Amino acid sequence: MIDYKKELNEEQYKAVMHDKGPALLLAGAGTGKTRTLIYRVAHLIESGVSPESILLLTFTNKAAAEMKERAEKMLKEKCGITACTYHSFCVKMLRFYASFAGISPNFSIISSPDEADIIDIAKTELNFQRLSNMPTGTVFASMLSTCVNKGISLEDLLTEQRYWKFRQNEKKLLALKRKVARYKEEHNLLNYDDILLKFNSMLASYPDVAKKIEDTYQYIMVDEYQDTNVLQDSIIKKIRKYNQNLMVVGDDMQSIYRFRGADVRNILSFPKRYAGCKVIYLVENYRSNQEILNLANHVMTNATEGYEKKLKAQFSSERLPEVCYVDDMKREAEFVLESIKKQHMKGIPYKEICVLYRNSYQSYELEVLLNKEGLDFEKYGGIRFLDRAHIKDVLAFLRIYTNPSDELAWFRILQLHIGIGKVYARNISRKCLEYGPEYLIDDCHKRKKYGVHIRKLYDEIQSWEGKEFLEILKSSCAYYAKTLENTIRNKKVDSESDREESLQDLERNKEDITILQEMAKDYDSALAFLDATTLDATKSKGNEEDKLVLSTIHSVKGLEYDTVILLDCIDEILPSARYIGSPEDNEDVRCMYVAVTRAKNTLYMMVPKIALKYGKAIPGDLSRYIEGRDDLYDAYEIKYQS
């Protein structure tokens, strides 16, 4: 048996020993919430709770797998708990209860770019493609997602200032929305939002199914609860109607995804919505020194909503956080580069140094200097690995293997071939849905430029018969590379240098495709692999290489570094909101708190006297979140010799 009192601090122990009823675990940054959750899983199992009756919901599959693995090591045996993301859980339930949800169990999961393609197809069919003041496919996909995640109608969204220009086409946009929904239904497609909507709707329509799921999972734990949206919270309510064994874990001060639909009110109102809720605070921080935490504690006082808490460190430092004043953003970048070099010379690995900023454009000056210096870095927030066009091309082959009615996958694959553009691709893909792959060898293609090439596609598809999943993927990858190389070598180009550049890109892309094949070895079926890659499309961050990290604050939550350098710690950038106490201002307070609490030992906050915000010069006044508290930091004026 595990000696829980020996392994945990007092508050962690309280959380782990909580056996019955609702509980809110308020875990400040660096206070060991993951450790606490794992020990609670272990305690429940040691107390006789069946592992199969425990559901642990997280926001990444990586986090879920890590928690499950650590629990198994602690218990020294395999445990059959269900640990996964919201979307993975909903997909699992929808495939099992598909008939109740009114869908086919072999539905394909589509990403945002796929949704944008569907919108473009629908716009063409409705003759909307040439209308003025119509959003692009990508923008409209984002708008529809915002409506779902915020729980508002499209009509309400169009009243927001950023979408005013589309209001004149409100009726057409509503028609487009219906057309897109109908298309997805006809082709057995669900996007991330549809997954949640379908599952939530099924639970509401079939209370007996909801009760069955509730009875299956006697204990539910939700990690990062502050990041949940209205829809995710609604799903939890429906499977905790009778059984109140629910523990939600989070930190209201780390709720920084409002723009994605996360609703901090979920965690703020939880004790009121669940009678008898026990609230437990974790405030003993195991990451940062007390000097950094003193600043973080002060930053929290700027919020006009939230739970009051004060983080306590396990150690102190003689060094306060530093506020560094420089003339402008160019000087800022120069000083940051010098500071990075100094920290590295002291023995700090580059991967333990992180430069943070509110908006991606703020790192441009520094990136130029780093490139000149030859100093490699990882920038968090770019295009994800699984969203890269060539990876989506390869995955499209698996999509038509698992779901032959996936027109989008046909549409993508066909365009890889010589002589096939969007019009031909759309026409052929629709015929393939009607007549199957055999349409690829129909006599009508013989005299077409592409005829011989789509015959090869047909042969490739036929070759999958009887093969294992990994063999099919390997074959598809080889076919893709050979087909694309042939297309590049034979297409018309403005100059041969363009052709050569495309061939070089293909060679680089082959490396990514090799990585994809390695990833696939952990899965036993194409459908399982597609579910995982679509639901957890996270980019590789090169953790084994010693690279400096540049990141937006939003992309670094959950991570920690020895040294953090926060760019442009000034009013109009951090905070960007002008109105104190507004929802935007409270979100900026939380962003500042997240940034500060990423640092373990050293924290620099940069203040350029003149800064650029979207090309406009603004005065660099120290952020009001820390202004006037010079007892919490050392301030330096950085001078340069001309």
Range in 373-382, 514-523, 540-549 the model is least confident about: 540-549
The answer to whether 28 is a known ligand-binding residue is: yes
Q: Measured between alpha carbons, how far is residue 397 from residues 406, 407, 464, 476, 537 in Å?
A: 10, 12, 11, 7, 18
The answer to whether 62 is a known ligand-binding residue is: no
Task: Give the pLDDT confidence score for residue 131 in this predicted structure.
Answer: 81
pLDDT at residue 504 greater than cutoff 90: no
How many of the other CB atoms lie within 10 Å of CB of 641? 3
Share of the chain above pLDDT 90, in %: 74
The pLDDT of 4-24, averaged and rounded, is: 96
Residues in Cβ contact with 93 at an 8 Å cutoff, skipping those fewer than 6 apart: 199, 213
Range in 299-308, 331-340, 489-498 the model is least confident about: 489-498
Does residue 314 lie within any of the structural domains? no
The pLDDT of 286-291, averaged and rounded, is: 97
Do 484 and 425 belong together in one domain? yes
Question: In whole angstroms, what is the distance from residue 185 CA to residue 181 CA?
Answer: 6
Confidence of residue 540 (pLDDT cuts 50, 70, 90): very low
Does residue 323 lie within any of the structural domains? yes
Do 121 and 179 belong together in one domain? yes
Does residue 73 lie within any of the structural domains? yes
Do 459 and 587 belong together in one domain? no
Task: Give the pLDDT confidence score for residue 538 in this predicted structure.
Answer: 37
The answer to whether 261 is a known ligand-binding residue is: no
The answer to whether 32 is a known ligand-binding residue is: yes
Task: Give the pLDDT confidence score for residue 384 in this predicted structure.
Answer: 56
Does residue 123 lie within any of the structural domains? yes
Domain boundary among 147, 162, 187: 187
Confidence of residue 541 (pLDDT cuts 50, 70, 90): very low
pLDDT higher at 148 or 131: 148
Task: Give the pLDDT confidence score for residue 40 in this predicted structure.
Answer: 95
The answer to whether 304 is a known ligand-binding residue is: no
Task: Give the pLDDT confidence score for residue 536 in this predicted structure.
Answer: 46
Structural domains of the chain, count:
4
- The boundaries of the domain holding residue 499 are 387-534
Task: Give the pLDDT confidence score for residue 497 in this predicted structure.
Answer: 59
Do 36 and 158 belong together in one domain? no
Task: Give the pLDDT confidence score for residue 61 in this predicted structure.
Answer: 82
Dihedral in degrees, nearest 10, Cα atoms 616, 618, 624, 628: 160
pLDDT at residue 16 greater than cutoff 60: yes
Do 124 and 215 belong together in one domain? no
Using one digit for the tens of pLDDT, what is the confidence trace for 183-238? 999 999 999 999 999 999 999 999 999 999 999 999 999 999 999 999 999 999 99
Share of the chain above pLDDT 70, in %: 96
pLDDT at residue 369 greater than cutoff 90: no
pLDDT at residue 52 greater than cutoff 50: yes
Task: Give the pLDDT confidence score for residue 535 in this predicted structure.
Answer: 66
Do 243 and 372 belong together in one domain? no
Task: Give the pLDDT confidence score for residue 67 in this predicted structure.
Answer: 85
Confidence of residue 543 (pLDDT cuts 50, 70, 90): very low
How is residue 570 annotated by DSSP? B
Do 349 and 226 belong together in one domain? no
Range in 26-35, 436-445, 633-642 the model is least confident about: 633-642
Mean pLDDT of the chain: 91
Using one digit for the tens of pLDDT, what is the confidence trace for 572-630? 999 987 778 898 999 999 999 999 999 999 999 999 999 988 667 899 999 999 999 99
The answer to whether 534 is a known ligand-binding residue is: no
Confidence of residue 495 (pLDDT cuts 50, 70, 90): low
The pLDDT of 449-460, averaged and rounded, is: 94
- Helix, strand, or coil (residue 533): helix
Domain boundary among 501, 534, 567: 534
Do 431 and 500 belong together in one domain? yes
The pLDDT of 262-267, averaged and rounded, is: 95
Residue 6, token pair as written in the block: 């020996």
Does residue 307 lie within any of the structural domains? no
pLDDT at residue 502 greater than cutoff 90: no
Question: In whole angstroms, what is the distance from residue 355 CA to residue 366 CA?
Answer: 10
Task: Give the pLDDT confidence score for residue 371 in this predicted structure.
Answer: 72
pLDDT at residue 387 greater than cutoff 80: no
Does residue 601 lie within any of the structural domains? yes
Residue 129, token pair as written in the block: 């493609």
Instruction: Report the DSSP beta bridge partners of residue 603.
Output: 564
Using one digit for the tens of pLDDT, what is the confidence trace for 555-574? 998 899 999 999 999 999 99
Beta pairing, strands 23-27 & 54-58: unpaired
Do 63 and 212 belong together in one domain? yes
The answer to whether 29 is a known ligand-binding residue is: yes
Residues in Cβ contact with 334 at an 8 Å cutoff, skipping those fewer than 6 apart: 369, 640
Q: Give Dmax (Cα) for the chain.
A: 82
Does residue 431 lie within any of the structural domains? yes
Task: Give the pLDDT confidence score for residue 537 in this predicted structure.
Answer: 42
Task: Give the pLDDT confidence score for residue 544 in this predicted structure.
Answer: 54
Beta pairing, strands 548-552 & 353-357: parallel
Does residue 428 lie within any of the structural domains? yes
Task: Give the pLDDT confidence score for residue 642 in this predicted structure.
Answer: 45
The pLDDT of 92-105, averaged and rounded, is: 96
The candidate with the shortest Cα–Cα distance to 369, out of 327, 335, 328, is: 335
Do 499 and 422 belong together in one domain? yes
The answer to whether 27 is a known ligand-binding residue is: yes
Instruction: Report the DSSP beta bridge partners of residue 281.
Output: 26
Do 61 and 208 belong together in one domain? yes
List the CATH number of the domain containing 216. Answer: 3.40.50.300
Query: HEC profile for 270-324?
Result: HHHHCCCCEEEEECECCCCCHHHHHHHHHHHCCCCCCCCCCCECCCCCCCCCEEE
Beta pairing, strands 82-85 & 246-250: unpaired
Task: Give the pLDDT confidence score for residue 560 in this predicted structure.
Answer: 96
* DSSP string of 1-50, one letter each residue: ---HHHHS-HHHHHHHH--SS-EEEEE-TTS-HHHHHHHHHHHHHHTT--
The candidate with the shortest Cα–Cα distance to 171, out of 136, 131, 124, is: 131
Do 395 and 527 belong together in one domain? yes
